[in-house]
Structure 1
């Protein structure tokens, strides 16, 4: 009979989270892998380890970076350790399942380097009995399509975390459907409730790996007819604002940086590193503005600005420091009514909303 003092599965999982977290934060890869393998040896469900331990630990790493409690180098090292823990789990006998279902290709959108969510999905699907081709981060669409022609999977699971990759995601979804392969998408890039997934014509959306696996288990996604969706069928793109703003980004970043130095003497005293980070911030502002124009969603842009303000506040930089760049960009948008309105809305939100704990933009 089991002792009444035996740890519950939830308690065991929580304890494992803390052990893996400590190993990740001290960059002790062997300790992280040992903790995961020991939990599997003790009978903890492999899927639970993936979704309730490694996934949350990785999420916590991102939160710590945003709060300026870990560096970019630490975040990258921690991510690599989590990836190694997933690899070790995948080789454990408890996680090895003979394929009994169909074939799924799992890939990240071209330009998307956040591969761990896709890796977690791939391993959950393998545990559930699927034959999985995991292609990893930043997969160019032509290479993905060549793979589909060669392997003929039942579906593609496409992952993206950054909304600026949505135009590329749209092109990739359309290309996969054009060769008759249905597409399920997931990741923070596709917005709350997957609203951008629907906008871009994906065949399915799932908020997490378990839901994706559950949905795929219910039956195959319908195979789309060739030319299922035309890539330029979003009516609001007819005004050409998205295309023109996207093409202007490199020039606008250079011009805004030059004008910032002219208008604000403190900027002239920036170190090279500070100047580079400021230019990156300006570039990101224009990138998210173009993504908002593509989706015709003002909230995508304002949400990014608020998140950026929170990250800057965690680093001791006042959120109002973003306003001069918005003002200078606004002068370049007089002929772009949708973009100008989004920029004004973003500036208004920045002045009205005090920074809070930072969360990744959705």
Structure 2
């Protein structure tokens, strides 16, 4: 399907938002709406496309974290402005609760889904970023929903998806899951107990429409939590420290790191241990493959050689062996597979 917004408009919006020209960026949105571009197309083909391009520019080290925050903040404001003050859309198709997995503070994807659904006639409550499952439960007890839609941006928050699915199912409410962390098919979502998976807001709307006619007969059941999951989560910082100390003994350049560089190395390795746990939770080593490929590209754009990443992962594998040999093998396998994309 052809996008309703030209690439030039996306670039114009990005530059205006990056430079803090709030009125100018908002004028791009207003002009498109005035030209008859449907609000959903403005959301998907301008704002979502701009966010993807923003992420790529940050990844390539072309734009900074400050740039990312400026543009994301403007996109948040643009979404709010699009629907503020206008006549409410009748929500006669049912009530959908949209949330982010606990721990996930990337609220824009959830808001995009909420606004698309609202534009299609759903009554939508959007709780936004990182809502604990217990609070979701309390909200559903106060205001029951036709369905719960949960967004997950990083595998680190898989357990949050699982917990929200559990509290929704306790109330006989089906769960739809989506977000970049859940991959390109429904397998990870199913492992976490979701009844369906959607790759984007339009697909989410289509699934919910189908559920109005034929809701899930049996609710999905999450796969058992591997015993190693909690162990790896609890010892992630310790494992990162062991691997870093080993790197310092074997690589002189690492031994010369200043305090900030060492702290960043520890943070990255702890992050990877938590990804290993997440990969085990959904039984998908592509969680690690994707991470290592992404990290290799990220560091390469910052002139850090892939050899440094490989050395760190190998030391982490060695640190994992006495704690969980299966986790070490999973990481080693992910590293091997990722080399095919290097």
- TM-score, length-normalised on structure 1? 0.87
Q: 2:170 aligns with which of 175, 178, 184?
A: 178
Structure 1 residue 348 and structure 2 residue 336: aligned?
A: yes
Matched, 1:323 2:310: yes
Cα pair 1:178 1:224 within 8 Å, conserved? no
State whether structure 2 residue 27 is matched by structure 1 residue 34: yes
Instruction: Name the residue aligned to 1:358.
Output: none
1:110 aligns with 2:102: yes
Residues of 2 paired with 1:300 and 1:212: CA distance? Answer: 23
Distance 1:345 1:12, change over 3 A: closer
1:199 to 191, 197, 202: 191
Does 1:90 pair with 2:83? yes
C-alpha distance in structure 1 between counterparts of 2:254 and 2:8, whole Å: 48
Q: Could you say which residue in structure 2 is the equivalent of 1:251?
A: 238
Q: What is the distance in 2 between the residues matched to 1:128 and 1:269?
A: 57
Change (3 A) 1:183 1:10: closer
- CA–CA distance in 1 between the matches of 2:78 and 2:145? 27
Q: What's the counterpart of residue 210 of structure 1?
A: 202
CA distance in 1, matches of 2:85, 2:27: 12
Instruction: Tell me, yes or no, if structure 1 residue 282 matches structure 2 residue 266.
Output: no
Q: State the shift of 1:291 in Å.
A: 0.7
CA deviation digits over 1:166-206, x for unaligned, max 9? 12211221121112211111111111112201222211211
The separation in 1 between residues aligned to 2:3 and 2:207, in whole angstroms, is: 25
2:17 corresponds in structure 1 to: 24
1:13–1:126 CA distance, 2 compared to 1 (3 A): farther
Cα RMSD (Å): 2.2
Q: In structure 2, list runs of 5 or more residues that go unmatched.
A: none
Deviating above 6 A after TM superposition, structure 1's stretches of 4 or more consecutive aligned residues are none
Partner of 1:50: 43
1:3 paired residue number: none
**Alpha carbons 1:245, 1:290 under 8 Å: kept:** yes
Q: 1:218: Cα distance to partner? A: 3.0
8 Å CA contact 1:253, 1:283 repeated in 2: yes
Q: Which residue of 2 aligns with 1:5?
A: none
Counterpart of 1:360 in structure 2 is none
Q: More deviation in 117-126 or 341-350? A: 341-350
Describe the superposition over 1:287-335 as per-residue Cα deviations: whole angstroms up to 9, x where unpaired: 1111111112122112211110111001100111122222222223335
Contact 2:194 2:220 in 1 (8 A): no
Q: Does 1:124 align with 2:116?
A: yes
CA contact (8 A) 2:102 2:131 kept: yes
Report deviation, 1:92: 6.1
Q: Bigger shift: 340-349 or 132-141?
A: 340-349
The number of residues matched between the two structures is 339
Moved more, 280-289 or 344-353: 344-353
Q: Secondary structure at the match of 1:139?
A: coil
- Over 3 Å counting, the alpha-carbon distance change for 1:224 and 1:143 in structure 2 is farther
Cα offset, 1:282, TM superposition: 0.7
Structure with more contact order per residue of length (Cα contacts < 8 Å, sep ≥ 6): 1
Contact 2:279 2:287 in 1 (8 A): yes
In structure 2, C-alpha distance between the alignment counterparts of 1:212 and 1:86, rounded to whole Å: 19
